Amino acid sequence: MNQLEPGCTKVRELCSDYVDGELDIQASRHVASHLGECGPCQALIATLKATIALLRIPQHHRAPDSLRARVKQNIKGIKA
């Protein structure tokens, strides 16, 4: 297993807040500076951003036909 550089540990603690823009200016600059020099942490941030982007894509699923039929039947019953 690879040993993390001392700066990596701190950046990994702050990565979510960094991506969300919730760090103060000093901490944000620290993370940005570290990212300029550290490929593994750059990859971590890129992966985190990609994951967040995927989770924001709305997912639409068609209800099973049996459920759709029951809902329609219940609606007819309410209207009657």
Note the pLDDT tens digit of each residue in 23-76.
999 999 999 999 999 999 999 999 999 999 999 888 788 899 999 999 999 898
Domain layout of the chain by residue ranges: 1-59
d(CA 71, CA 75): 6
- pLDDT at position 1, please? 41
* Residues near 14 by beta carbon (within 8 Å), at least 6 away in sequence: 23, 27, 30, 31
- pLDDT at position 29, please? 95
Between the CA atoms of 47, 49, 53 and 55, what dihedral angle is there, to the nearest 10 degrees? 70
- pLDDT at position 64, please? 92
Under the banding of pLDDT at 50, 70 and 90, the label for residue 12 is very high
Cβ atoms of 14 and 27 closer than 8 Å = yes
- pLDDT at position 78, please? 82
